[in-house]
Structure 1
Amino acid sequence: MIYALDEYNNEGFLKPTTYQWLIWFFLCRGWIIFVLSAASRSQNDDVLPILLPNMNELYGLMISSLPIVAMMWMIGLRNRERLRLNRWLQYGQMITAVCLVIQAMITANVILQHAGHFSWSYGITLLILFWSLLYLKTSKRARASFNNVTI
């Protein structure tokens, strides 16, 4: 056992780190914006352009984050009897990395559509995506949380 007992769930699997959850919620920001705009339906025409001015970007973010939403749901269902689910979750690091790259490409495409005009929101988004990809590739703890090894 390499990690503390608190870092394992009741089934004995290593829990994802807090930073992994933050990465996943950031990748699901299209769904969060969609829910926020649906909740404020009376002011929908005013709120949505402020949060995300390009509707095509919203649809791209929502589609690219579907595997992340499914993976977040499946991590809660993980136990020793669900062998197929555990096998699918072994690809979680790769799925997260692919979604990070896809969302970086979507953001870069939006920047190119604005003729390369710098925007702080897109710059910070690309920086967060880059740092998240770097964390995912270098962290042994993040890699170990997707393994099927139990205590």
Structure 2
Amino acid sequence: MDESVKYPGRLTRRSAFGLVAALLALPRHVAAAEPSEILVHKDPNCSCCTGWVRHLQSAGFAVTVRESTVLHLVRRRLGVPDDLAACHTAEASGYVPEGHVPAVAVRRLLETRPEAIGLAVPGMPVGSPGMERERAPAERYEVVLFGAKGRQTFMRFVGGEAVG
């Protein structure tokens, strides 16, 4: 007699092997809960860049920092338009986050994988990750998706909070 008939709801050897085989057949990215890796290129003297790195780390990203005084060359190599340039440039799973992009936007980019070069927050909006100021109100800003197909608003924020 089959064990599952004697003990309803009990996992049999046959069903356990089937379950293990099904789990092993899943694509690796489905089971992955590892932090995403981000390489940040920043000026060695920039404190707001350091704040953005801490923001990414606290959001679960594994961050490597490469200090450079020739960030314009890094941006050119990675395809960041001059008018979207900010104070630091990153590389994350084939994308380029430029400037003070909130971690939630980077995470969404990596999950949705749109056809683009990356995301940018031009300038240095007050209240964006790394640009927090105690006595200054947070600014409203857009995270721009950019690439060969042009540009579009990816997300909107006030400070570090996403808004409609």
TM-score class normalised by the smaller sequence: under 0.3
* TM superposition score normalised by structure 1: 0.26
Greater relative contact order (Cα < 8 A, sep 6+): 1
Say which one has the larger Rg: 2
Going by fraction, where is strand more abundant, 1 or 2?
Answer: 2
